[in-house]
Structure 1
Amino acid sequence: MHDEVVLKKIKRSVLETAKENKVEIYQIILFGSRVRGDYREDSDWDILVITKEKLDRDKFWKLYTSMKRKLASL
């Protein structure tokens, strides 16, 4: 799968999961080897998701778990 297609799927999944959990996303940042350009075919995708509001521990873990599950299926 091409990088652009994967990035669109990641963004869509993050935004859908946030909406399902009633969390507003401020920014999604890609970092690591994919940004530097020194990635391999089997490299992972490093993303940072910044929310508009501070999340309490329970809401954070619920969002994290949901997001991890959805992204793992890509």
Structure 2
Amino acid sequence: MGHKITGWIAVAGLILVIISFVLRMFSIIDMSVRSMFMIAGFTLMLLGTLWRVVLEMNEDKQSDNS
């Protein structure tokens, strides 16, 4: 279950980054808002990936102890 959540969080970050690039092409929003989208998107991707690695490490330790 944890891997699905981390995947969705990373995908949400990727979507924010893609939206930022699309909005740049159409010049719909201000630069500061696009920058916030980029920062939030990259942060979500990073945290989702790190969270997944930690969950996998915990699974490995639990399977070794059993």
Tell me the TM-score normalised to structure 1 length.
Answer: 0.33
More helix by share: 2
Higher relative contact order structure (alpha carbons within 8 Å, sequence separation ≥ 6): 2
Tell me the TM-score normalised to structure 2 length.
Answer: 0.37
Which structure: larger Rg?
2
More strand by share: 1
